[in-house]
Structure 1
Amino acid sequence: MDDQTRESRAKGNKQAACIACRRTKTKCLRDPGAAVCKKCRQKGSDCVIPSHHVGRQKGTKNKRTGLAKAIFQVEQAVSQLQSGRSDPKTNEAALHLEHLLNAVRHLPQADRNDASLDDYAQSTGLPNEPSECYSPSNTSSPESPAPAAAVADYPLNDAENPLQLLAHASDLSRLRLNAGPYQEVDQSSETVLAFFSPLRPKLDASPSMDPIELGLVTQTEADELFQYFFEHLTHTRWGMDRFVHSLPFVRGRSSFLLTSILAASALFIPSAEALSKRLSAHSRKLAHTAMVERYRSVEVVLAFMVNVPWLSFGEHWADDETCSYLSAALTVAMDLALHKIITPSPNNVPDASLQGYTGSDTIDAKKALYLDGFENVDPASMLGRRLLRRRERSWLSLFVLDRGVCLARGRVPVVPKTSLVERCDAWHISDIADIWDSSIISVAVMRRDLDVLIKNIRDCCDIFVPEVTSSSETVQR
């Protein structure tokens, strides 16, 4: 086979196949220089060869995107205008574009908008403000649910006019520069102010937590269980005032406390076994939620204490959650400053131990009510005095409970012996005292004074060293 035949066959191989051969997926064979292939010549049909490449498209040389692509297209427009400057207006526009491009090239990508594009927008009559269809208000409309971040990254590939494309890029960049950083500064300042704002109560009262709203108990059953608790079970857990802690008050302040009271009462009613299980499970769930979400109120402290006598044991006698509940109650109590003496005292009795005390462990009555969310209540009113006294009662009850649990288990107490505990000998003497306040003070004073006796016993045990008969013998104290 000679060289000419090979060359012609090579050229024939490089020839694109006709549409008929492509449709039947057969090889398109044609003689050198022939305009019709063999198959089309046999069928007598037209042999149409496509002029464009149907397969994979070649990559474009312009890899620019966004504002860089817009500037490149404007440069191409300037070069086209420079080829023939017969019109004075065209010549002036080309010179102005060259001036803008020279100024833009020396600026960073984020600062190329206000320095040059605004001037051109004013001179050409283009809108100087962001387009209406890309305003922040329209980005949140139902017609355009895309977020604001998507608007800032809107692709700049659909504008046919390069100048319009450049102006559109200026609008989007200005929207990014004006809205983004200033919003971040405002949000950060609001976050800082909210972080350092005065402490406020965080109530765990919502329809998603309320046992009555959830259908765990009816309103009638809640009234009966609540009344049963104050008639038969208040001696098991001190800290509440029946004149303050009514059902509407507790329900509006803490779903955790309401559920705990109802669950405790249902334990002693034989016919309410199923109700007791539902309420107990919901109470444990609310306890975990209160710890995680850091709910803060006096009622949350009382709720943790109410649950302590009814916590179920684990595999060991020390595996229950008593210590966890006490720690959570102490944390909330310290946040709300329940350990401080309220001045002036709400007791209205000539008690020298509390009335004349002006130490650092004091808190103003108005501030105490503010921490509880009752800033509109007068501290001198009957309601204000009872609300203030309930704070001190809660701390004394927490002290008694912690010392009793730690004494029974041999643990170190965690509730400190504050000035309120040191000066509480006559605290139960008041015109608004509860029926169990005298019992709280008697046990609190006994637990407080018992620390001295326990310390003396430990000192004596530490001094006494038994005789060791052998070196391998160990002594356990």
Structure 2
Amino acid sequence: MNACLPCRKVKMKCRQGSQPASQCERCARKSLDCVFQRHRRGRKPGTKIAKRNTAAAPPATYSAVRKTPDHSGDSPSMVESVPAEEPNNLQPSGVLNQEAMRGKFSLRRILSTADGDAMEPPEASPPSRPEDPIEMGILNLSIAKTLFENFILVLNQYISQLDPRLHTFFYVRQKSPFLFTAILAMSAKAFNPIVYNALYDHAQDLYTEGFRNGLKSTEIVQAILILTYWKQPQDTRAWTSIGYAIRMCMDMGWHKLAPYSTTSSVSTDEARRREIRNIERTWYVLFVYDRSISLQTGRPWMIERNAFIESVDAWCSDAVADRNDALLGAFVNLRLMSSSIFSLHAPSRPRSERVPLADMETLLSLKKASIERWECHWIQEVEQKQLPEEETCHKFLIRFYGTHLRLQLFSLPLQDVLSSKYSDSSLHLDIIWAAFSGAMDMLKLITRHSAQLCFAQDSIHVMTAYSAAFLVKLLLSAPDTIVKAIESSTIDAIRAAAQAFSHHASAPGTSCELQTRFLHNIATKVSQRNRTENVATPTDASGLNRHAFQDQDRSESAKLPFLPPEVNQAMPQPLEQPLPEVFIFQHADLDPLFMDDGAWTDILACAAFNTQNGILLAG
């Protein structure tokens, strides 16, 4: 029996009225538009079923998928989602109300005693005021089009977030005022600061309104991500915002997406394929962001690797793939490559449970070779997708992220190498050199590609700050013979990077301006430390510096600010007062900074960098 569309939507039995061509009983009772439509099941005429090698595919690869609504508050859009639940599942997800278990979890739905009608989501009431920033008079149509075009052409290539063929100006404006406003706000931050504050405030209002109403859609997730890439310096919500976006996507079933297969979309029209890829691309971006912020903050990630994540290479080779997708594929592969090694030698694990240093060196050598192969492969991929005369940020980002991972990997065993247990550090110079060269290469990449720093997302600034802080920590912890060999070049590299950022530090409070001050402060303080130690510091037989004020209160030592060079020149040089304990190098405890994270946090906090939240502070 063919049910009408309203009854079919809620899977209710449709009883025909007594009169021919009349409304069904349910539609007549509820005053609904009773529309009958022929079933559209089966294969479309003229299409062929592609043969699949199901024997070599995982069991879930070609499983049947169901359609679930994407609750955006507008008209529900249908997205490919997860396989149907097992009928014999006796867990809560299989026994309780199915709609409540699939993104509509509420006590009213779980304890409902009515039929399906009572559980239908209420129709979204029209907004009491316009949400479109153009209709609100925040900016005119001409400026909005210019800002939108600048975002797609310039900023989007840094984040690989949107499909230029799909996300046109009119499409985004009609689809989601929140995403539309977020795009305009972040573009205005870079290209038209006059309208930035009004657009940013409106985007935050839409963010709050969507959270309050529990709205879920692909566009809402993308808007949250865009607001996080170039957040304000004092914004500490990156961790919670990304977690909220991931949970929203899990409500929509994205964590159970089937592995990508190019043969599965052969018969799908291009517009529909781009809609599906828009969902898949956003989930890939969330995976990369989730792993990146986990590495930066030391907090656990939320998205586990699965067959869909691992099928990113096939996803990038699709005929409708955008050229920015190659950069996203590179980042996904990089995070897959680094997902396991950090747990093997994590500082939080007891030393007895870590991988032995000799085995770790072999593993790191293999990982280093893998990173180099990854870099060569994906640079070739992005070069094939860009015009010969075109200059993009993709090659810079691939090299920068790869070098950052290499630095993080070789910093894992460095604490053991520099500790008192391994007093002869010369036996592990390869590890010290690999970590040192990784941090130096990051700063050199910043100097070499200074023209592309103006629009870089905040993660680039956090990674740059990490490389500079790591070099300073190495200078404070390594044996004196190593320090003398690398000290001068380290200070020069930090100052050169600061100079590169200073070209884009036109307005106070911007990321480039904060980064410039941060790097200048570090270089200045290291230079002051050298001058102070050269005045009068006794040395022992091993050539290590010793200081007589080892009992000084650490909280008092943290009060010495990291001042920019121009301020330090106007102030008396601190040669007559003892050097703070955070700069002391002691032989009995070879590396107090490695062993005491609190002291290192004090140093970075004075230098306007928050290690807990991974943000630059406006000092």
Q: Which TM-score band applies after superposition, normalised by the shorter structure? A: 0.3 to 0.5
Using the size of structure 2 for normalisation, the TM-score is 0.37
Higher RCO structure (Cα 8 Å, ≥6 apart): 2
Using the size of structure 1 for normalisation, the TM-score is 0.47
- Name the larger-Rg structure: 1
